[in-house]
Amino acid sequence: MTVGARLWGAVPEYIKNDDTRLIAGLLVFTYLVYTLAQTYLAVANNAAVLPAVANSLQNITFLIAVYAIMALALNLHWGYTGLFNIGIAGFMAVGVYSMSILAAPATGSPPGFGLPVPVAVIGAVIITAIVGGIAALPALQLEADYLAIVTVGFSEIIRLVFNASYFAGTVKDPEASGYNVIEIFGYTFGTGGGQGINTPTSSPADFLYSTTSLGDLLYGPTGGPNVLGELVYGAADSAGVNSSVVNGATYAFFLLLVVMTLYYVLLVRIGNSPFGRVLKAIREDEIVAQSLGKDTRWFKIKVFMVGCALMGLGGILWQGSFGFVNPNTFRPIVTFYIFTALIIGGSGSNTGSVIGGAVFAAFLFEGPKQLARVVQASVEGLLVTVSGPGASLPSPNNFYAAVVSLDPLAWLGFAIDNVSTLKFVFLGAVLVYLMQNRSDGLLGHRKEIASSVDLSERTPAGRPAADGGSADTGGETDE
């Protein structure tokens, strides 16, 4: 029995058999681990505990939410339909840039259409779906690796277009040589080029706690705190927590509890619908689906558009919430992270997508950095105790210097200083382990079946079921 199987077997059945309890249990465990880690670090560094814990939990909640949302969107392509789309970052970029251009004022730099933010978001989702449809027309003629190559190439084309100075539109003097703008129906706009572009707000929850209205959220002056803001900010300030952490935590929990739930419900409804059953039939065997009279190409185009729209919206909620975005934000590594989250959770399972997003964000993406800080604080505290004040871990300049020193503390210091790079080694080791021991991911064994009735659990006519019950219908199956 593998380590993963032992850990999964240690989870109580009443939690494993209920998706809500399973997700809630993982979140509680994650928050407990991060609370203990931040408390230890704060005490070790003689810092305030509550602000450190609040900031850490706000950050990890946001990461869990956005990775779970993006894994759910990818699950519609890969888990449901078997479409190997590795151009996720490009469709996120289309969503964020479309929203920013539609919402930017006509007098801005670069100029935009000046639409209200909610209208800009809806328009951006539609534009992303259309772009996804355009990409799907030629790309879906291909399969497997070839589809992957086309989608990643398309993603890079999008990034380079947004990065091009030709479309920047930021030159202030229209008469200047080389001034380039794009014009549609008399409206001029630009992408900002390599300098990036402003998004409507860097604090999406600000309007909840201030007198700033949702309509004035775009680049407008921020009003003072309203009654709720004074109450919440006052309580947070008395605990030493900054108002920006309050805003960030509010937005993070909104994504986690509302948006992620809506994504989950939408995918469950799609999966249980006749349309969703055709998608899963295409995943299992497209030729069989065609033999039953289904136009699989049209189904793939439609689901590609829906999935790209969800990715565009996810990009808006994620990268569009920082107040500024740069084309280089949408490199292929973002797609790799999202795919890794889905692989860990298990493609084909919506619950697995959420679990995978949470595990990846908390323990593989942020976990190594948190562990490095804890180890560093522990070792340096021990060194101070043994050698006196001022003692600290050595910091070799490079790997060679660490190795030839033959000093375990130098090796440890090098590892801690380079944890952001070394985490890719750890991430690769985890993926190799999963591929060898649990290739379906944590919940991949619960992949949703194509038929509305699980035929594998039916008994021959005239023979009673072994447990005296009837076959399970639809949904995710558990081995």
Consecutive sets of 10 residues in the chain, 479 residues long: mean pLDDT of each?
64 80 93 96 91 95 97 94 93 96 86 88 96 87 80 94 83 51 75 88 77 58 77 90 92 96 95 92 89 91 95 96 92 94 92 95 93 88 77 79 82 84 86 84 76 58 51 46
Total domains present in the chain: 1
Is residue 387 in a domain? no
Residue 471 in any domain: the answer is: no
- CATH of residue 226's domain is 1.10.3470
Residue 138 included in any domain: yes
At 19 the pLDDT is 86
Whether 453 maps to a domain, the answer reads no
Does some domain include residue 161? yes
- Looking at residue 367, its pLDDT comes to 92
Specify if 88 maps to a domain: yes
Helix, strand, coil % over all residues of the chain, rounded to 5: 70, 5, 30
User: Which residues, in sequence order, are bridge partners of residue 210?
Assistant: 225
Within 13 Å of residue 344, how many CA atoms lie on the same side as its CB?
26
Give residues with Cβ within 8 angstroms of 81, minimum separation 6: 279, 280, 282, 283, 299, 300, 303
Q: Mapping DSSP to helix (H, G, I), strand (E, B) and coil, where does residue 448 land?
A: strand
What is the per-residue pLDDT for 106? 83
d(CA 132, CA 310): 11
Given a contact cutoff of 8 angstroms between Cβ atoms, the answer to whether 131 and 96 are in contact is no
Is residue 325 helix, strand or coil? strand
Alpha carbon 370 to its chain centroid, in Å, reads: 19
Global pTM value:
0.89
Specify the pLDDT at position 453: 58
Q: What is the DSSP letter of 449?
A: P
Tokens standing for 295? 């136009």
Cα three-residue angle 77-82-84, rounded to 5 degrees: 70
Nearest to 345 by CA among 70, 85, 87: 70
Residue 390 belongs to some domain of the structure = no
In a domain, 474, yes or no: no
Q: What was the pLDDT predicted at 139?
A: 75
Domain that holds residue 312: 3-365+418-448
Number of H helices, E strands in the chain: 21, 4
